[in-house]
Structure 1
Amino acid sequence: MKIVMQLMNGFFDKGHSLFMDNFYNSFLFSSKLLRRLTYTTGTLRNNRKHNPKPINSAQLSVGETVANYAESVMIGKWKDKRTVTYISTRFDNEMVTYRNKRKQQKIIPKPLMQYNAHMKGVDRLDQMMSYQM
Structure 2
Amino acid sequence: MQGGKERDTRGAVSTNVVLQLSDKLLDEGRTIVTENYHSSIELANKLLDRETHLLGTLRSNRKGNPKTKDKCDVLMISTTHSAEMVETEWKSGQKVKKPKMIRDYNHDKTPIDTSDQMSSY
State the TM-score bracket (shorter-chain normalisation): 0.7 to 0.9
Q: Report what 2:104 is aligned to.
A: 114
* Structure 1 or 2: more helix by fraction: 2
| Number of residue equivalences | 107
Partner of 2:40: 26
Offset from partner CA, 1:17-57 (integer Å, 9 cap, x none): 1111111000111111011100011110001011012x2xx
Stretch moving more, 88-97 or 100-109: 100-109
In the TM superposition, residue 129 of structure 1 has moved relative to its aligned partner by 2.2
Name the CA distance, whole Å, in 2 between partners of 1:5 and 1:29: 8
The within-5 A match list for 1:1-133 is 1-53=15-67, 55=68, 58=69, 60-61=70-71, 82-130=72-120, 132=121
3-state SS in 1 of match to 2:63: coil
Q: Please, what is the CA RMSD of the aligned residues?
A: 1.5
> TM-score by structure 2 length?
0.80
Q: After the TM superposition, which of the residue ranges 7-16 and 30-39 deviates more from structure 2?
A: 7-16
State how far apart, in whole Å, the 2-side matches of 1:15 and 1:32 are: 13
Whole-Å separation in 1 of the counterparts to 2:29 and 2:44 = 13
TM-score normalised by the chain length of structure 1 = 0.73
Q: Whose strand proportion is higher, 1 or 2?
A: 1
100-109 or 35-44: which moved more? 100-109
Deviations 1:63-94 (A, max 9, x none): xxxxxxxxxxxxxxxxxxx3211000000111
Distance 1:7 1:100, change over 3 A: farther
After the TM superposition, list the runs of 4 or more consecutive aligned residues in structure 1 that deviate by more than 3 angstroms: 100-104
Query: Counterpart amino acid of 2:83?
Result: N
Which runs of 5 or more residues in structure 1 are unaligned?
62-81
